[in-house]
Amino acid sequence: MEREQYLAAVQPRMPEKRYIHTIGVMETAIDLAQRYGEDVKKAETVAILHDIAKYADIAWMEQIVRDEELDARLIGWGSELLHGPVGAYIAESEFGITDEDMLNAIRFHTTGRVGMSRLEKILFVADMIEPNRQFDGVERLRKKAQKDLDKAVRACIRHTLAFLIDTKRPIYPVSLECYNDVMSVE
Ligand code: DGI
Ligand code: FE
Ligand code: FE
Ligand code: FE
């Protein structure tokens, strides 16, 4: 499928603001793919699809988790944690994507995971630094992403964990494993 077809498929499934975010992630992921030698078309496609499940019905998503035997720990965590794994399910079942690296990029774009591939890192970082994101420190993350992908991943994960703790939210086990993984190098 071409870019315009994917975009047309995701647009009606999300509010305007999320669609604008999606375009920003797409542009950023393409830029990072070119910079770090990743397949540009794969980066473009996973970026367009990454938040496709963000506004899906929670009961439906939890049913997918049960039916497809996804990580059972997802039950009860809401859309924030469900939309990555369910998005990967939609990418495969509805759009026929079979490339496991692409599916993993969508699946783990919220939490990260231990041993992320280059494509997974690109989507993870692009999601956080795309031009419409505004938070303290985002400019520093953007600069890092231009210089060193692994350092950018590390800084993004640290930022997310700090944000979760500051806002008194529980940390999903996969996010914590990912944090421990990136903090144990260097
Ligand atoms: O879907 P986006 O808003 O573009 O971004 P995302 O999928 O990276 O993150 C969605 C939300 O999930 C964001 O507000 C941060 C939150 N999140 C990420 N990891 C965890 C988490 N929330 C909780 N409670 N626990 C986590 O481990
Ligand atoms: Fe997301
Ligand atoms: Fe993210
Ligand atoms: Fe996103």
CATH class of 3-183: mainly alpha
pLDDT tens string 123-161? 999 999 999 999 999 999 999 999 999 999 999 999 999
Which listed ligand is nearest to 113 at the C-alpha?
1
Q: For 154, list phi and psi in degrees, rounded to 5.
A: -60, -45
Q: Is 109 in the pocket of ligand 1 (CB under 6 A)?
A: yes
Side-chain-side CA neighbours of 159 within 13 Å: the count stands at 19
pLDDT tens string 18-55? 999 999 999 999 999 999 999 999 999 999 999 999 99
pLDDT at 186 over 60: no
Average pLDDT over residues 107-133: 98
Mean pLDDT of the chain: 97
pLDDT tens string 48-82? 999 999 999 999 999 999 999 999 999 999 999 99
Q: Is 45 in the pocket of ligand 1 (CB under 6 A)?
A: no
ipTM of the complex: 0.96
Ligand 2 is an ion; its neighbours by CB within 5 Å are: 51
- Provide the pLDDT for residue 99: 98
pLDDT tier at 184 (50, 70, 90 boundaries)? Answer: confident
Ligand 1 atom showing the smallest separation from residue 54 Cα: 1
pLDDT tier at 163 (50, 70, 90 boundaries)? Answer: very high
- Give me the residue spans of the domains in the chain: 3-183
Ligand 2 centroid to residue 183 C-alpha, Å: 23
- Provide the pLDDT for residue 185: 58
Q: Is 54 in the pocket of ligand 1 (CB under 6 A)?
A: yes
Ligand 1 atom showing the smallest separation from residue 169 Cα: 24
SS (H, E, C) the chain: CCHHHHHHHHHHHCCHHHHHHHHHHHHHHHHHHHHHCCCHHHHHHHHHHCCCCCCCCHHHHHHHHHHCCCCHHHCCCCHHHHHHHHHHHHHHHCCCCCCHHHHHHHHCCCCCCCCCCHHHHHHHHHHHHCCCCCCCCHHHHHHHHHHCHHHHHHHHHHHHHHHHHHCCCCCCHHHHHHHHHHHCCC
- Provide the pLDDT for residue 53: 98
